[in-house]
Amino acid sequence: MEPDKGQFRFIDLFAGIGGIRIPFSELGGKCVFSSEWDKYSQITYATNHGDVPYGDITKISPKDIPKHDLLLAGFPCQAFSQAGMKKGFQDTRGTLFFYVANILNYHRPSVVLLENVKRFSTHDKGNTLRVVTDIMNYLGYTFVHQVLSAKDFGVPQNRERFYMVGLLSKHKFIFPNAPKHPTAVGNILEKGSNFKRYTLSNELWAGHQRRKSEHLRKGNGFGYQIFNSSSPYTSTLSARYYKDGSEILIEQKGKNPRKITPKEASRLMGFPEDFKVVVSDTQAYKQFGNSVCVPVVREIAKLLVPEVIKLKHKPKPAKRVIHLEGKIPISGLFLPA
């Protein structure tokens, strides 16, 4: 899937099933390291990308990670300590972003792309983003961020995600303009009519209807959502979709509605047609629900790769020596004690 020698080298952290990796590989990059702790995601990743990701990032020393020009990470959203808001880098201790920052400080890649949920910008009353921004700036990165939605990039899903870019220069990255091509749910649906396996049972369908009626009586709009081939886009596919599929149901004439298939979930996230689903339906729904929308990342990558090529040979700022609670880190690292 990837070239033997890439124009640039990148690493893929909190990699999931490699959704962020795909566009950068397409554009000539060579992935030299990946990390993902979930064993089922590792199986899907290895099947489609050819290498098994390393496990827990907290157990990997930055010196054991190959040199790279670009760092990719869809790290989990964790709050930093409110009590330690004025303690700077101490706020990051015990969080997974701390390990990303440590790798950045050690290797000084020219470009960083981070991805998170939309609420990241307001998480912990804005403290989370503030600390991340302060750290990125301190490490020498010009840091920008923007919310982008899949439905604006040719994918029929209303999926908004928070993207962050850091350049090891004074230049500010400008995110791509959304093409906003017309979309339709029918574009991702499989052909045929034999979807018995995914059709809701009478009992489950009755339960969905009952709960929605109860919500409506209470004055809110919670409950299942049904779409058909002409619907412009679906609601957001979540990692919990395997439980009952209520957020995205497909209309079937004369039958109960059905869940989308794993292949349709793959298409709804914009994965290539040859992307292989080799795990159970439950794991596949979790994996796609946790992933990025590939076409959105592809448009970002088209603008980011020239920055990587331009900056990769430029001199890098020195590592920052950071003191934590009076302790002097070794070789500029700031791993927790």
The residues carrying an active-site annotation are 77
Beta 249-250 vs 226-227: how paired, if at all? parallel
Distance between CA 266 and CA 273 in Å, rounded?
A: 8
Under 8 Å between Cβ of 28 and 312: no
Gap between the terminal Cα atoms of the chain: 40
Strand blocks (E) in 138-248: 142-149, 160-167, 226-227
Q: How far is CA 253 from CA 20, 160, 199, 225, 257, in A?
A: 37, 31, 12, 16, 8
Under 8 Å between Cβ of 277 and 266: yes
DSSP characters over 16-48: TTSTTHHHHHHTTEEEEEEB---HHHHHHHHHH
Q: How far is CA 337 from CA 79, 103, 106, in A?
A: 20, 16, 17
Residue 253, token pair as written in the block: 């004439």
Distance between CA 211 and CA 159 in Å, rounded?
A: 24
Residue 134's SS3 state is: helix
Under 8 Å between Cβ of 99 and 336: no
Strand blocks (E) in the chain: 8-13, 29-34, 70-73, 111-117, 142-149, 160-167, 226-227, 249-250, 258-259
